[in-house]
Structure 1
């Protein structure tokens, strides 16, 4: 049940440690009901709608089983820490709610924007009670089948997954080495150019972003931030860093506000709880949007050009500071039929409700590029139907929106893949292509650095100053 963000992918590819999930482990108290008190409500065996998952809840333990037509492999387990709450070893809290005649339930990970639906089944599938398959060929079959049953984008990517199996499976046998098998998996997924797809073997990870784009990493973030400080913010006032440097705010000379966000998480050091992330985010937003800041009709620039993603919920939280009217940010759905890539779960609408704190409801210019990943992109999508004027400037985003499924393979390797789509009001998804800008400008190119230009930033200042954020 572990969910991985593009931030983790980016850090792994850059050689850094992936951040722990933004979740909070509740402290037990004398008033918490015991596991026995909740056995009748949540205990049992459940099949998840989509996600290739069966869940067993018994004796205070939430146990995941990752299933395909050829396998059932035991996944993560969580322990009950409160009424309907189960905490994974990394601190992520899973909340299970039973309803619909007790044969229907839902589970939500702390900080997520959507639920996963559960249906009660009599017992574990037979494959889950047998010994896991072993050997390179078994690993290959589970790897291929996991994508076959869950990946939604083969047609859009122009990749024949059956042809990949026919090409590579004959080369795998009992004597295939670990390095050879990792190379096979890497070659199989490389044509997808999907930054939410990866083959992992311990610290070794292969992932391939969209051609012509760069995966966000610490050096890129530091270099571009230094450039922005020296070039764009040299004459700015009230320059402040928040959230361990991941958020920067400044008042520009022309009256606009500038808000740079390099990720949606990692805000509170060792405290990875969702509550801690929200507290740091609110501290930054209060300073940026508070009554003491000079308000200006010239609007707010939000810079997401280097953003490795993180928690979608934090993006929704910011959106709630940018509107006076409720609206739907987007809808989520997941592929849910192993034999039909066009079948999906019922779309779940994700709502934006105006926040109680200080808000900015004037024009917004959002700077994006190919290094705007995952939760950075869902935040951009959440602003598309914002009631205030919003304009996008720069380059298309990366084109990866889904949570990432981590599927264990026989022998210890792991496959990472998406299975969700984020839909606009008209039912469109931007997976693969990314969200396009209204105004196209170069973003952190070699020429821009050499000539000390930031065309996207300058365009944003001009648009807000002269046109109030209109796209015409």
Structure 2
């Protein structure tokens, strides 16, 4: 199974079919065009096929039984709204039949010029952030087409696509090119860099005490030394399900054991287990921290995961139900209608002072957590702006079979402001390096280990 098929299989198998059986008479044996994603959906009885469309091909990339794939939000003769398990509902308009391309057998086309043009057109139709990233897309076409016309090998064509992607500087643009076409990396000797694990261990040794860990450190918690401040570090927005016994959660084989169990689960159940895992561990954590006067939530090393996990976690630190964000998708003619998301607080949330630590490596779902804090001015952010990549990855395929992703969703705060590219700013700025290993090394100097963000917390708590 290809990369984007694996990703979609996870993201679209997350919710059940609540309501589908009641509405099957409306949607069975029907064809639908999705708004903003250039995809079509066919439903026949209880089966479905989901197609990717571009300017050359239309190809079914996920198909099977409808049960477990989507939950039906609403269904009429003309509009079908489905949820794939996240916070964004997918809107489909009824069409009379599949586009002609979708009924034809897809044939691989190795033409470099054809593949470049499809690559360019797909971004032109679906990419949402040319302006925000200062990209003159028409100029890209003019500059690179002559180069592509002279290309004679796949390696050189791959290099051109990599160069374009690098210039766009969007962490959610990925190229899945055969490994044989990747450039050979010359080994160079550089000074050793600290790893993420080492930084976190040194941080906790100097500043924290009574630390506990869940699921191989996906979330850790304890107290800042000589204070009444709790400390929680969240390192990912996934792997929260309670699959592995406590005695084995910090073993070197944790991921293997976790995945062995998770792959036996129906995806619907797997995703439900993630959210249930959040609820279970947050109850334990907040009980442990009940006598603190403030808490630090450290997201500086968190590269993302499930946005639903991120917002479920945030719900444990707010008391008011508020609209915290909106999402819209890029279409060929503009944008889809904005969807607004309300954050519902947990039943017994933490009600004291909250600090959130961020860096340029706080990305994707971790940024959506941070975006939500903007609606709660009592939450104080310390660190560098976040990475500025919020959208889900929209996967597409070139005529030659290579796959790529792009950012087509615009996330905005409750005041309709987007932070794509620039990231979400901190209340108290710390100039962390953007490069990951440089960030890790920045905690060290000839004077030893220093965490400027936690030092700032101590000052604010005096």
Q: TM-score, normalised by structure 2?
A: 0.82
Q: Does the CA contact (< 8 Å) of 2:196 and 2:440 recur in 1?
A: no
Q: Does the CA contact (< 8 Å) of 2:230 and 2:289 recur in 1?
A: no
The answer to whether structure 1 residue 307 and structure 2 residue 302 are counterparts is yes
CA RMSD between the two structures: 3.1
- Return the match for 1:80 from 51, 62, 65: 65
Query: What CA distance in whole angstroms lies between the structure 2 residues aligned with 1:98 and 1:240?
Result: 43
Q: Give the match for residue 365 of structure 1.
A: 355
SS at match of 1:195: coil
Q: TM-score, normalised by structure 1?
A: 0.80
Q: Does the CA contact (< 8 Å) of 1:442 and 1:455 recur in 2?
A: no
Q: Give the match for residue 80 of structure 2.
A: 105
1:183-202 aligned within 5 A: 183-202=159-178
Q: Give the match for residue 286 of structure 1.
A: 283
Q: Give the match for residue 402 of structure 2.
A: 413
Which structure 1 segments of 5+ residues have no match? 9-17, 87-93, 207-217, 467-472
Q: Give the match for residue 254 of structure 1.
A: 227
SS at match of 1:295: coil
For the structure 1 residues 391 and 345, does the alpha-carbon distance in structure 2 shift closer, same or farther, using more than 3 Å as the test?
Answer: same
SS at match of 1:265: coil
Q: Give the match for residue 291 of structure 2.
A: 295
More helix by share: 2
For the structure 1 residues 346 and 81, does the alpha-carbon distance in structure 2 shift closer, same or farther, using more than 3 Å as the test?
Answer: closer
Query: What CA distance in whole angstroms lies between the structure 2 residues aligned with 1:172 and 1:256?
Result: 58
- Return the match for 1:277 from 274, 279, 285: 274
SS at match of 1:56: strand
Query: What CA distance in whole angstroms lies between the structure 2 residues aligned with 1:370 and 1:311?
Result: 19
Query: What CA distance in whole angstroms lies between the structure 2 residues aligned with 1:435 and 1:397?
Result: 5
1:3, distance to aligned residue in structure 2 (A): 10
For the structure 1 residues 146 and 258, does the alpha-carbon distance in structure 2 shift closer, same or farther, using more than 3 Å as the test?
Answer: same
Q: Give the match for residue 210 of structure 1.
A: none
Query: What CA distance in whole angstroms lies between the structure 2 residues aligned with 1:205 and 1:180?
Result: 9
Q: Give the match for residue 401 of structure 1.
A: 390
Q: Give the match for residue 379 of structure 2.
A: 390
Aligned pair count reads 415
Q: Give the match for residue 116 of structure 2.
A: 140
Query: What CA distance in whole angstroms lies between the structure 2 residues aligned with 1:193 and 1:150?
Result: 17
1:439, distance to aligned residue in structure 2 (A): 0.6
1:199, distance to aligned residue in structure 2 (A): 1.7
Q: Give the match for residue 198 of structure 2.
A: 223
Q: Does the CA contact (< 8 Å) of 2:383 and 2:429 recur in 1?
A: yes
Q: C-alpha deviations, 1:47-72, integer Å up to 9, x for none? A: 1111111212225432222223x223
Query: What CA distance in whole angstroms lies between the structure 2 residues aligned with 1:351 and 1:171?
Result: 48
Q: Give the match for residue 263 of structure 1.
A: 236
Q: Does the CA contact (< 8 Å) of 1:65 and 1:72 recur in 2?
A: no
- Return the match for 1:116 from 90, 94, 99: 90
Which structure 2 segments of 5+ residues have no match? 183-192, 242-257, 264-269, 433-438
Query: What CA distance in whole angstroms lies between the structure 2 residues aligned with 1:284 and 1:36?
Result: 36
